[in-house]
Amino acid sequence: MPTDKELLIKDLMHKCDCLYRENSRLKEMVSTQPLKAADKEVYEALLSDKDAIIAQKEAKINSLEQRVSYLERQLYGKKAEKFIKPDAQDRWLDFEGFDMLPQEAEAAEEAEKELKATREAIIARKKAGKQHPARKSLPENLEREVVHIYPEGYNPEEWTLLPGEEVTEILMHEPEKFYIRRIVRHTAKRKGTNEFKTGPLPVMPIAKSYASASLLADMMIGKYVDHIPFHRQLEQFKRVGVHLPASTVNDWFKDVADLLRPLYFRLWELVMQTDYIQSDETTIPVMNDERHKTVKGYIWLVRSVMTGRQFFYYDKGSRSGKVVLKLFGKFRGAIQTDGYERYEMLDAKKGIILLGCWAHARRHFWEARKNDMQRADYALAQIQLLYDVERKADDERLTYEQRAELRARLAYPILVRFEKWLVNEYP
C-alpha cells in the first residue's frame, strides 16, 4: 500500500504534467496565431508564471524523492547505512520529518553543556601555563662534565671551604664528529702445516664501500626525520673537513633503500593486518626525464589507527582505482578516507566499511559561510563539539575502551541532533 509521501509525489507529478501540457498549448497559440502586442505580453507573462510554477514543483518532487530514498536506505539498506542504536538500546524512524525527540534533545543539550565546560577548562589551563612557564630541568641521562670554580685568590692553607655549593648547569654541544675505524686483519699459518687463515672482514651494509651503518643511518634520519636534504648535510660535513661526492651519496641512498625493502613489506603486512586504517593521497613533484621538468604525482599514505604504524606507497604517481584495489582489495575492516570517489568501489566489497573524515566535511560547511552563514555556523559548531569529545579524551588520556564509552555518551547525542537537523534543512 502506498505511503502518504508516495501519494503526494504522485499527485505532484500529475499536476506537473498538466502544467506542461498547458504550457505547450500556450506556446503553440503564441506561435501560430497573430496577436496584438498587449495580448502577446499577457501570454508571455502567463508562460513565465507557468515555468516558475513548474520549476517549483520539480524542486519539490526532487526533494521528496530524495527523502523517500533516504528512508528506504534506513529500512532496507546495508547494515553500514542503517541508523545506529543509541546507547545499545533502540531507536525508531521518525516518518513525520525527523523531529527531535524530547529525550534526544535533552541528551544533546547535556552533552553540549559538559563539552563546553571542558573546552573552557582546557583553554584556561593552557593560558595559565603560558603565563607562568616552568623552567624544565636538563635530562638526567646526559653525561655531566663537572668544573669546579673557587673564589679568586683561594688557598687551602689560608681559606676554609664552607658547606654547601652553588651549582649551575648549562647545556653543551659538540659539532658533527667523525672518526675513522681502521680494520686490520691478520693472517696466520698453522705450525707444521700449510693451512692459512685470515681474520674475517665484518659484514658491511654496502659492499666495497667505506660507509658505515652508523653514517648511513644518521644520514637517512637527517633526510627523512629532520628534513635535511643530502646537499645540506654534505655542507655540514665540509665544515668539519669531510668532503663526500654527491653522486656517491646518491648511490648509497639507493643501496640503503634496497636494504630496507624487506622491512617495508613487513610494515605493510602489519598495517594491513589491523581492522581500522586511514588512507590519504598527496601530491609530490616528480622529475620527468622526457619533459626535463617536474610533473604532479601522487603518493599514498596508509596508517593503522590502533598501532600508529604507517607506510607510503607510490605507483608511477597514479591516483587511479587500480591503486585502490591493489592496496585495499584484500583488506577487511574499516577504511577512513577523505571521500575521494575512487574509494567508493570498495563499498561493494564484503567486509569493508568506508568511513568519512570530519575535517574534510567541515571544509564544505566553512565554504558555505559565504552563501548561508547562519546555517553553516551551526553545522561548524556541531562539528566543533565532536572535536571537543576527542580533546576531552586526549586530555584525560583515556584508553581505547574508555574513549569508546565517552563517544557513546557525549558524541552520539550530538550526532543524532546534527543528523536530524541536516535532514530537515536539506532543500
- Which has more pLDDT, 288 or 185? 185
DSSP 140-188: TTS-------PPTT--TTT--PPS----------PPP----------EE
Q: Which residues contact 345 (CB under 8 A, 6 or more apart)?
A: 321, 324, 325
pLDDT in tens, 383-411: 999 999 999 999 999 999 999 999 999 99
Q: How confident is the model at residue 177 (pLDDT cuts 50, 70, 90)?
A: confident
Lowest mean pLDDT among 10-24, 149-163, 206-220: 10-24
Reported pTM = 0.65
Q: Cα–Cα distance between 121 and 224 in angstroms, integer? A: 37
Does 70 score more than 70 pLDDT? no
Contact criterion met (CB below 8 Å) for 169 and 181:
no
CA distances from 203 to 187, 210, 211, 252, 262 (A): 18, 12, 12, 16, 18
pLDDT in tens, 139-157: 889 999 999 998 898 888 8
To which residue does cell 513565465 refer? Answer: 48
Q: How confident is the model at residue 37 (pLDDT cuts 50, 70, 90)?
A: low
115-117-118 Cα angle (round to 5): 65
pLDDT in tens, 280-332: 999 999 888 777 788 899 999 999 999 999 999 999 899 999 999 999 989 99
Q: Which residues contact 272 (CB under 8 A, 6 or more apart)?
A: 302, 330, 331
Q: How confident is the model at residue 426 (pLDDT cuts 50, 70, 90)?
A: confident
Residue 288 has a pLDDT of 80
Q: Set out the domains of the chain in order of their start, with CATH numbers.
A: 4-77 (1.20.58), 79-123+357-427 (no CATH), 211-273 (no CATH), 275-334 (no CATH)
Residue 87 has a pLDDT of 47
Contact criterion met (CB below 8 Å) for 223 and 233:
yes
Residue 85 has a pLDDT of 42
Position 52, amino acid: A
